[in-house]
Amino acid sequence: MSSRTPETRATSLFMRYAILVLVALIFVFPLVFMLVSSLKPSLQLLSDTSSIRAFLPVGNISLDNYTASFARAPVALFIFNSIFITSVTVVLNLVICSMAGFSFAFLDWKGKDVMLSVVIATLIVPLETIAIPLLLVVNNLPWVGLHGIEWGWLNSYRVQIVPFLSDALTVFLFVQYFRDLPRDLIEAARIDGASWFQIYAKVIMPISGPVIATAAILRFLAMYNQYLWPLMVTQSEQYRPVMVGLQYFFQLNTDWGQVMAYLSMITVPVLAFYLALQRAFITSIASTGIKG
Amino acid sequence: MGRFAKLTGVLALTTALAGPALAATELSMWYHGAGGDSAERDTFARIIKEFNESQSNWEVKLQAFPQIAYNDAITAAAVAGKLPDIIDVDGPIMPNWAWSKYMQPLPIPEEKFAKFLPGTLGHWDGKLYSVGLWDAAVAMYARKSVLEENGIRIPTLDKPWTLEEFDAALVKLKDSGKFDYPLDLAMNDKGEWYPYAFSPFLQSFGGDIVDRSTYKTAEGALNGEAAVKFGNWWQSLFERKLAPGTSQDTGDHDTGFLEGKYALQWNGNWAALKPLDKFGDDMLFLPAPDFGHGPKIGAASWQLGISAASKHADGAAKFIEFATQDKYLAAFSNAIGLIPATAEAAQMTENYKDGGKLAVFYDLSAKQALVRPVTPGYVFAAKEFRKALSDIADGADVQDTLDAAADAITADIEKNSGYGH
């Protein structure tokens, strides 16, 4: 039996909400600063940083930084490129990695455990260490285009997509999630005569929303934030994504207002994607927490 | 054979023979200005257009990269064997790219550039590899009224401040109590600014980043008696609160001199127009102090060169010769405010002709400029120098820090078998 009075419970609740609001503000402040700063001239933006004005839309407010951003760089092209590359990669990555995860979780084949260990071990290899060999590989790959067989994949969308169609983290996420699903589901489907592909497509994937959302968000962020690889493989402006485009704004005299306007614009797709999948993402995190 | 068949045969043969002669060979060109000054891009576009129209053998196509990403893009392209014909290269980096076989010597007689400012010509291994259409210079920004009010002598190119005079001026300005700091060194800019802007101080004290007599060691140059004297003075600037340190806010640097927070500012000609507009005739661009071994400022900006991978070096050279005409040097200067590479071009500009607002920078560049160490190892050495100066400003032991930097630079030179020196 609790000895807490209604007053102490109210105080406790108030404190809890106060802390939550404080934490929320800490997370929201950078976004507010970015949005508000994108509306201010650079000199005002810099002088406002030393006071609360940094978070308030006060002073000389306009959309000039947005107009200037479009004049400085092909912003729409960069955003399109990033969304296209990221979307295609995420969708194909989820298909490939979920199939791999299904195989590791449910199918019996020789060397499965060793292979899974090898896949997971690749988690410790950062892209930077294999970037140069990977560049040499893609630079010598054939492609059948409008002009017949061409050699080398540089300056294309495919060179930014294909190397990332599978990754160890996503495979691992699917394996972990699939292993915790009830085996009865699989056995019932097998008794009903379903093929392994039917089980994958019609039984397992429909109940894997949370892990799909989690993997999608993680892959989306990783792909959308790509910088080194696209920089190495896209010499033509036509294929550059947003993070390479961001560098257009860092000049000898950087205009911070324009930087903030550009960041605000390229953040919109990320926020929209996260908000669309947040419920499933939180469900996945929550369910991960109660396992074990 | 019918008449029609003969006619078509002749036409086909004529077309086949004429085709290659009519088609201009494409020359790819990369430069670092994507997202940068649109006037600079427009001037490049104009030169390229006029070059392409001036002859029928070559057609230059420009691809721009953001400056921050440019060097990495060049390195990646070199690995992939996809370098363009013409590249632009930052002056101090050029020896590294030449040594790394990214570039080839210019097939242009050097006499063609006899009138160019020394800092605009990039040499490696006795050969000319690159040529700049402009140079940049640094000066001590000051206001005449502030110096006169505080009884400080206005230095000239012939009689710059000595170390003692400069130091006393800083103390006097601090004691006036009217400024947050007497001097702004732009310590917030931790990129190439440190070696470009501050290594001339070290050189004026008698030290250097490496020993230029051999280029095989930094020992003695970066940690000898002169360098330690420089390091002690450098550290004292921050200990005595004569200049904001490494934690300086970018906004303060951008607005501090204009708002009167700083009495003096060590800054480049690219930033000169704003204070000129604000202070008019009161604005002064003063020469670098002479710390004992002559006044020095940095030199060498972006230059044009030909990649080692180019199969059309003759065409690329034709373009570079075309682009380095005085009228284009003047056009660039008028567009972006940098110092034209020749005196003749300077006379064709608004700001650098005799009596022009920024003419003093041409004289500074001609009389005080010293290029950064001409070695492939500069890329590594510059990072060590930058770190050492930052650490000393933050209070690290001067001798130990310079010893560590000199050791690291010397070890890097040895690891790379002397970088071809």
Among B350, B371, B392, the domain-final residue is B371
Same domain, residue pair B169 and B312: no
Q: Is the pLDDT of residue B5 over 70?
A: no
Distance from CA of A138 to the nearest CA of B (A): 9
Give dist(CA A175, CA A120) in Å, integer. Answer: 11
In a domain, B9, yes or no: no
Tell me which H or E stretch contains B17.
Answer: helix B3-22
Residues B30 and B65: beta-carbon distance below 8 Å:
yes
Same domain, residue pair B164 and B224: yes
Contact (CB<8Å) B77/A251: no
Distance from CA of B261 to the nearest CA of A (A): 13
Contact (CB<8Å) B69/A244: yes
Task: Determine the 3-state secondary structure of B264 from DSSP.
Answer: strand
Give dist(CA A220, CA A272) in Å, integer. Answer: 12
* pLDDT confidence bin for B20, thresholds 50/70/90: very low
Contact (CB<8Å) A46/B69: no
In a domain, B206, yes or no: yes
Same domain, residue pair B152 and B57: no
Give dist(CA B347, CA B101) in Å, integer. Answer: 37
Q: Which residues of B touch A232 (CB under 8 A)?
A: 72-73, 76
Closest chain B residue to the Cα of A49, Cα to Cα: B251
Q: Is the pLDDT of residue A49 over 80?
A: yes
Same domain, residue pair B132 and B147: no
Same domain, residue pair B205 and B231: yes
User: Based on C-alpha coordinates, what's the Rg of chain A?
Assistant: 24
Residue type, B163: L
Distance from CA of B249 to the nearest CA of A (A): 9
Mean of all residue pLDDT scores within chain B = 93
**What pLDDT was estimated at residue B3?**
58
Q: Which residues contact A241 (CB under 8 A, 6 or more apart)?
A: A78, A81, A82, A85, A160, A224, A226, A230, A234
Contact (CB<8Å) A47/B64: no
**What pLDDT was estimated at residue B15?**
47
Same domain, residue pair B178 and B71: no
pLDDT in tens, A4-18: 787 888 899 999 999
Among B332, B356, B371, the domain-final residue is B371
**What pLDDT was estimated at residue B19?**
46
* Main-chain phi, psi angles of B102, to 5 degrees: -85, -25
Chain B interface, best mutation among A232, A242, A254, by max B CB count within 10 A: A232
Which residue in A95, A62, A100, A84 sits closest to A223, CA to CA?
A: A84
In a domain, B117, yes or no: yes
* pLDDT confidence bin for B1, thresholds 50/70/90: very low
User: Residues of B at the A interface (Cβ-Cβ below 8 Å)?
Assistant: 30, 34-38, 63-69, 72-73, 76-77, 79-82, 249-251, 254-255, 270-271
Q: Which residues contact B81 (CB under 8 A, 6 or more apart)?
A: A139, B309
CA angle in degrees (0–180, nearest 5) for B92-B124-B116: 70
Residues B334 and B158: beta-carbon distance below 8 Å:
no
To which residue do tokens 């010597």 refer? Answer: B105
* Structural domains counted in chain B: 2
In this structure, are strands B86-90 and B58-64 parallel, antiparallel, or unpaired?
A: unpaired
**What pLDDT was estimated at residue A285?**
62
User: Based on C-alpha coordinates, what's the Rg of chain B?
Assistant: 24
* Main-chain phi, psi angles of B184, to 5 degrees: -110, 120
Tokens of B171: 């103390």
Which residue in B91, B37, B48, B22 sits closest to B375, CA to CA?
A: B91
In a domain, B125, yes or no: yes
Same domain, residue pair B220 and B352: no
pLDDT in tens, B266-288: 999 988 988 999 999 999 999 99
**Of A42, A154, A235, which has the smallest distance from its Cβ to B63's Cβ?**
A235
Q: Which residues contact B274 (CB under 8 A, 6 or more apart)?
A: B258
Same domain, residue pair B88 and B102: yes
Q: Is the pLDDT of residue A283 over 80?
A: no
To which residue do tokens 């013409």 refer? Answer: B86
Distance from CA of A254 to the nearest CA of B (A): 9
Domain range for B43: 25-136+301-371
Burial label for B20, CB within 10 Å (0-12, 13-18, 19+), is exposed
Q: Which residues contact A69 (CB under 8 A, 6 or more apart)?
A: A75, A249, A258, A261, A262, A265
**What pLDDT was estimated at residue A284?**
66
Tokens of B282: 């009161």
Q: What is the DSSP string of chain A?
A: -----HHHHHHHHHHHHHHHHHHHHHHHHHHHHHHHHTTS-HHHHHHHTTSGGGGS--SS--SHHHHHHHHHS-HHHHHHHHHHHHHHHHHHHHHHHHHHHHHHHH---TTHHHHHHHHHHGGGS-HHHHHHHHHHHHTT-EEEETTEEEE---SSSHHHHGGGS--HHHHHHHHHHHHTS-HHHHHHHHHTT--HHHIIIIIIGGG-HHHHHHHHHHHHHHHHT--HHHHHH--SGGG--HHHHHGGG--TT--HHHHHHHHHHHHHHHHHHHHHHHHHHHHHHHHHHH--
Mean of all residue pLDDT scores within chain A = 91
Q: Which residues contact A275 (CB under 8 A, 6 or more apart)?
A: none
**Which domains are present in chain A?**
25-62 (no CATH), 74-290 (1.10.3720.10)
Helix, strand, coil in percent for chain B, rounding step 5: 50, 15, 35
Q: How much is the average pLDDT of A164-173?
A: 96
Distance from CA of B225 to the nearest CA of A (A): 35
Residues B301 and B134: beta-carbon distance below 8 Å:
yes
Contact (CB<8Å) A73/B35: yes
* Main-chain phi, psi angles of B370, to 5 degrees: -135, 120
CA dihedral B147, B151, B152, B157 (to 10 degrees): 90
**Of B64, B82, B254, which has the smallest distance from its Cβ to A46's Cβ?**
B254
ipTM: 0.80
Q: Which residues of A touch B37 (CB under 8 A)?
A: 251
Same domain, residue pair B325 and B404: no
Give dist(CA B220, CA B214) in Å, integer. Answer: 12
Helices within B296-336 (DSSP H only): 313-323, 326-336
b vs e for A6-39, b when ≥16 Cβ sit within 10 Å of the residue's Cβ?
Answer: eeeeeeeeeeeeeeeeeeeeeeeeeeebebbbbb
Contact (CB<8Å) B34/A236: no
Q: How much is the average pLDDT of B222-228?
A: 98
pLDDT in tens, A112-159: 999 999 999 999 999 999 999 999 999 999 998 887 888 899 999 999
Helices within B129-198 (DSSP H only): 144-149, 163-175, 193
In a domain, B406, yes or no: yes
Tokens of B142: 């000051």
* pLDDT confidence bin for A292, thresholds 50/70/90: very low
Q: Is the pLDDT of residue B301 over 80?
A: yes
Q: How much is the average pLDDT of A64-71?
A: 95
pLDDT in tens, A85-118: 999 999 999 999 999 999 999 999 999 999 999 9
**What pLDDT was estimated at residue B38?**
83
Same domain, residue pair B52 and B76: yes
In a domain, B14, yes or no: no
Same domain, residue pair B223 and B360: no
Q: Which residues of A touch B34 (CB under 8 A)?
A: 73, 237, 247-248
* pLDDT confidence bin for A2, thresholds 50/70/90: low
Which residue in B218, B142, B202 sits closest to B375, CA to CA?
A: B218
pLDDT in tens, B341-350: 999 999 999 9
**Residue B28 forms beta bridges with which residues?**
B61
In a domain, B3, yes or no: no
Among B371, B386, B404, the domain-final residue is B371
CATH label of the domain that carries residue B200: 3.40.190.10
In a domain, B225, yes or no: yes
Q: Is the pLDDT of residue B18 over 50?
A: no
Give dist(CA B135, CA A188) in Å, integer. Answer: 78
pLDDT in tens, B256-270: 999 999 999 999 998
Going by the DSSP 8-state scheme, the letter that residue B307 receives in this structure is E
Residues B163 and B291: beta-carbon distance below 8 Å:
yes
Q: Is the pLDDT of residue B213 over 70?
A: yes
Same domain, residue pair B257 and B352: no
